[in-house]
Structure 1
């Protein structure tokens, strides 16, 4: 934890999400303590699958636990409320989804994202973590070739909750390949600025993603509708359009026949 402590002290970071912690009941909190921070910790290590996440909040920030988002369903997430001046709040979450996560657990993640959106209400929302969904083009909000079922569901959940994903650069580097796995979600594009992907710490193959969360409170803009082209039933649309075109052609033919009959009478 020494390298992480030096980094957060140097960068003066107030909110920290650490994922894939490999925590278990055998590891006490002292193994993960950062000086100057309060900690929300969720472990996941069963001998086959490792995960876990920790959310650190600087002690200068007023905060409280978000009990409604406790970790009784989806395997690895930690949540809390940050209290701003005047009593306004930010709901903050740290999430880790394993690349071998089950379909049941993946569905629970989508439900948790939607629940977080509902619980936040008119308050602000900040979700950080490693989601392991590399086949999503977050710039164009499209699925890339070879996208899996969970990536499709993740994109749908993001659209349904009107969330904006801020990270654009790849965050993980292994075997000469890079991918975008570590994400930051908020409700507004302007909520986070100055995103950087720094070099990994220690033996990690994930870069460290940093950014500035704009803490000044502002009236939240109405969500902008996003067209979900990937969910369209295009075969049905084409069938209906063909029917309409045939109907129009038939009507035109009928009109011509009537006109011809009228001409003969004259």
Structure 2
């Protein structure tokens, strides 16, 4: 059995909760955040992320377009009310582990940025994370995981 949640328009989040007879439910969410998103849209997105991460077993993946976050040190420059800080605070509040710590956007002549993120409850949930060449004409690397 699966429950699907599609939030308000203006943000791109799709969440599905999968329930199996002999295991706990797993909520999987896919996110895309435009680099041109407004602060109101960011607030809706953060609210949806809090909802999506209520369950014990979660997998939240997507292009969050938050290049200023240093996921090795869990820090971000700027004011506390910007999206980078709100995203970090959400991950901390929900006790999530962010599994990608290297650049996922590769553009010639530019420094790579870590835009594509994978959140789980703990590090052991991500057994084998590998990066592959971009799919099609994308400038984002492909992330494969088990």
The within-5 A match list for 1:49-128 is 63-66=1-4, 69-73=5-9, 75-84=11-20, 86-118=22-54, 120=55, 123-128=56-61
What does residue 131 of structure 1 align with? 64
Pair 1:183 & 2:121 matched:
no
Q: CA deviation at 1:129?
A: 0.3
CA contact (8 A) 2:12 2:31 kept: yes
Length-normalised TM-score, structure 2: 0.89
Aligned length, in residue pairs: 145
- How far the C-alpha of 1:147 sits from its partner, in A, is 9.5
Q: Alpha-carbon deviation of 1:85?
A: 5.1
Query: Which structure is higher in helix share?
Result: 1
Structure number with higher relative contact order (C-alpha < 8 Å, ≥ 6 residues apart): 2
Label 1:74 to 1:191 Cα distance change in 2 as closer, same or farther (>3 A): farther
The 4+ residue runs of structure 1 with deviation greater than 6 A are 145-148
Alpha-carbon deviations, 1:181-219, whole Å to 9, x = none?
Answer: 00000111111022111100111100001111xxxxxxx
CA–CA separation in structure 2 for the residues paired with 1:207 and 1:147: 30
Match of 2:75? Answer: 142
Q: Residues of 2 paired with 1:145 and 1:151: CA distance? A: 8
> For the residues of structure 2 that align with 1:185 and 1:74, how far apart are their CA atoms?
22
Cα displacement (A) at 1:94: 0.3
- The verdict on how the C-alpha distance between 1:91 and 1:100 changes in structure 2, with shifts beyond 3 A counting, is same
Q: Let me know the Cα RMSD of the aligned residues.
A: 2.1
Structure 2's unaligned 5+ residue stretches are: none
Q: Deviation at 1:159?
A: 1.0
Cα distance in 1 for partners of 2:67, 2:80 equals: 8
Q: Which runs of 5+ in 1 are unaligned?
A: 1-62, 213-266
Single out whichever of 189-198 and 145-154 deviates more from structure 2: 145-154
| TM-score of the superposed pair, with normalisation by structure 1 | 0.51
The 1-side partners of 2:11 and 2:120 are apart by 22
| C-alpha deviation, 1:175, in angstroms | 3.1
**Residue pairs, 1:99-248, within 5 angstroms:** 99-118=35-54, 120=55, 123-144=56-77, 149-177=82-110, 178-212=112-146
